Chain A
Amino acid sequence: MKKSLFNNACLKIVGLLLCLIGTAFTASAGSTVTDFDTIPSDSLKRLRRYEQRLSRLQAHWQRLIPSYGKVQYAGNMGLISVGGGWAYGKNRQWETDLLIGFLPKYKSDAAKATLTLKQNFMPWRWHTGEHIFIEPLACGLYFNTVLHNDFWVRQPDRYPKGYYWFSTRIRTNIYIGQRITFKIPPHKRFFTKAITAFYEISTCDYYILSHVGNSGYPLRDLISLSFGLKMQLF
């Protein structure tokens, strides 16, 4: 049984993402300047409405462009995960990440790709200088899925009903961490407006379940440490 690293599901999701981002860019590039003098006045109103609608549509699609890129080491999502996400809220205290992780083969049959959907919340910001701020608490929840045929969301049909109640494919993780952000002065910017370094201490459903009912287990088996960088584009 030969298994490719990026299987169908992965390709589909990446394709969809590229498609969305591509559409957003095309939409903004496609807006044209209309020469109003050559158009009869009764059509002008209709045209304006069209252009308003078009700009609204473009604005909607533009919101799909990720506002930052992220790279994260470890954290039960793979050796390394890369991706982007969207910051929102009054103080941009909310974030949603979409990350693709790479898990090397080690002693298994094949290297694997994983996909992570992650929700972050940073309630506070401490400005410690003109160009630096600290987020003393970052916390959140993330779901990771292994893109490999040996894993299932629900047990395959061959098993008797209710044989395995859990999913081997999807892991639910929670974390707390901290962040420090360096703002890049406008004249020094290339692609990035600010760079954030962060660490996270996380645990996943399996780790909690394995420890329930067992006493005297070292904390280090329950929790995981990960590090990452965030590049704020705009």
Chain B
Amino acid sequence: MLATAALTSCELIDYHPYDVRITGPTDVNATNIARIEAACRGKQQVRVAVIGDSHRWYDELKLFVKAVNARGGIDFVIHDGDLSEYGYTQEFLWTRDYLDELSVPYVALIGNHDCLGTGRNTYRAVFGDADFAFVAGRVKFVCLNTNALEYDYSDPIPDFNFIASQITSQAGEFDCTVGVMHARPGDDVFNNNVATVFHEYMLRLPQLACCINGHGHSMRHDDLMGDGVIYHQTGSLNDRAYMLFTFNNDGTYSYEEVAF
């Protein structure tokens, strides 16, 4: 009983909302990417549930996890950013802990809210690099930090060198590519001076199937640049719906909006 009291007391000790004191799993994306790549190796198609902008809708996040676990047949989950509302440390840990309840692996991108205060430090410690990529089946997912405004344009965001490196990295392991980001070209936090250049860079990725983004808090499917490449925008979690994609290895895909 004394031990329980002591343990509870420890959990009550808070140094600062933005203290970046991390408890529990770190480098979550790297760990889960290893699981995704192993589980999807040799598959003809992969099924991905995508959400974004969970902010402080924790009840909805729990419901989403429950819905995905109950549905089955989903290979992994992508959270396309805004894991937090204020960027304080505990928000990332709450979101991580709820997503850890998923029966399938997941990756999480950085959103503009996740950059606030020490948020970007917490994101890095808990999830990993803000730009990352992985291959599931023979589909490569290139996940990018596009929150240029949060960095006051002082950091290279979007990082064109990273995008270019993904043309050749893991070559031979994938046949098509999917771009994933929090904000899309044209959004307020995107570096819109390079909106078209960004899209053209994305087109250099082998057989770009589509792009997926969040930030807009409404589900949309737009041919942004008029070239047939669709930007699929996930809604906020408050809308209690996720997007379910089925990607085939030849770059064809289908999607549906699933309410939960």
Contacts and interface: CB of A to CB of B under 8 A. Distances in A.
Given A206-B88, A217-B58, A108 B14 contact: no
A215 B56 contact: no
Contacts of B125: 107
A209 interface: yes
Interface stretch (B19-27, B100-108, B131-139, B175-183): B19-27
Interface string A137-151: 000000010100011
A75 B14 CA distance: 6
B192 to A, nearest CB: 12
Interface of A: 73-79, 101, 103-104, 106-109, 112, 114, 144, 146, 150-151, 156, 158-160, 163-164, 166, 168, 171, 201, 204, 206-207, 209-210, 213-217, 220-221, 223-226
A204 B113 CA distance: 19
Contact of A214 (B13, B20, B56, B121): B56
A156 B154 CA distance: 15
Nearest to B62: A216
The residue among A79, A106, A166 with the most chain B CB atoms within 10 A of its own CB is: A106
Q: 3 smallest A-B Cβ distances: which pairs?
A: A225-B12, A107-B125, A224-B14
B86 to A, nearest CB: 6
Interface string B173-216: 00000000000000010000000000000000000000000000
B202 to A, nearest CB: 25
Contacts of A206: 17, 86, 88
Given A168-B86, A168-B87, A215-B59, A79 B15 contact: yes
Nearest to A226: B13
Given A107-B20, A150-B117, A214-B56, 18 more contacts: A74-B15, A76-B15, A78-B16, A106-B22, A107-B21, A107-B22, A107-B121, A108-B19, A108-B20, A108-B121, A151-B117, A168-B86, A210-B58, A210-B90, A210-B91, A213-B56, A213-B59, A224-B13
Contacts of A146: 16, 18, 117
A158 B149 contact: yes
A216 B88 CA distance: 21
A31 B57 CA distance: 65
B122 interface: yes
B16 A107 contact: no
Nearest to B10: A225
Given A103-B16, A106-B22, A171-B17, A220 B11 contact: yes
Chain A contact surface mostly: loop
Nearest to A218: B11
A163 B86 contact: no
Contact of A158 (B56, B91, B124, B152): B152
Contacts of A106: 19-22
B116 interface: yes
Interface size class of B (residues with CB under 8 A): 35 or more
Interface in B37-72: 56-59
Given A103-B19, A150-B117, A209-B56, A224 B86 contact: no
Given A109-B121, A150-B118, A76 B14 contact: yes
5 contacts: A107-B122, A168-B86, A171-B17, A201-B12, A225-B13
B85 interface: yes
Interface string B149-183: 10010000000000000000000000000000000
A108 B118 contact: yes
Nearest to B15: A79
B85 A210 contact: yes
Contacts of A225: 9, 12-13
Contacts of B58: 210, 214, 217
Contacts of B20: 106-108
A214 B16 contact: no
Contact of B13 (A74, A104, A215): A74
A150 B188 CA distance: 20
B245 to A, nearest CB: 28
A217 B97 CA distance: 13
A224 B188 CA distance: 36
Contacts of A108: 18-20, 118, 121-122
